[in-house]
Amino acid sequence: MRVGKCAVSRLHRAAVIQLAALRTTGWTRIAAFLYRSHMSRRRTVHDPLEPSPAPRWYVVRSMHGTVIESRELPRGADLKRTFIAAMLQWIDEGWTLGEFSSASATFFCDRNPERRMVSIDPTDPHDVPMYGGAHLGGCAHCVD
């Protein structure tokens, strides 16, 4: 591709203008320093496996999200120990451990053709979530 002399000249003039421009028209060193000093360096790390006085549930779901098993864990339980013990139990029962994440307190396991998602959840899996104006429609368990 051949670039004309006029196009190269325009690019050169733009570069010269940018170099000659005063530094007060954009980010200055002081403004950049103040901006960066107010930015947080790292987001707060949330560990869902830390012991909590709030209730937690051990939940097993099918690959379609259906709750197969759930049980409430004792308040203040050692959730890391519970999570690892659950992983070992599934392995001992012949399941192949797949992906897992302590950041979300979830692991997956397979035994052909089945797949399970095991998690430690902060909410009861059987509670009906009430999003938006759903709470205005009446009781979810009552029949009108």
* Percent above pLDDT 70 for the chain: 58
pLDDT over threshold 70, residue 144: no
pLDDT over threshold 60, residue 129: yes
* Residue in 129, 63, 134 with CA at minimum distance from that of residue 99: 63
How confident is residue 25, by pLDDT bands cut at 50, 70 and 90? low
Write out pLDDT tens, residues 98-118.
998 888 999 999 998 999 999
pTM: 0.60
pLDDT over threshold 70, residue 11: no
SS3 per residue for the chain: CCCCHHHHHHHHHHHHHHHHCCHHHCCCHHHHHHHHHHCCCCCCCCCCCCCCCCCEEEEEEECCCCEEEEEEECCCCCHHHHHHHHHHHHHHCCCEEEEEECCCCEEEEEECCEEEEEEEECCCCCCCCCCCCHHHHCCCCCCC
Rg of the Cα trace of the chain?
28
Compute the average pLDDT of residues 83-109.
Answer: 94
For residues 40 and 122, the model is more confident at: 122
Write out pLDDT tens, residues 63-80.
999 999 999 999 999 999
- Amino acid identity, position 102: S
The pLDDT, as a whole number, for residue 102 is: 83
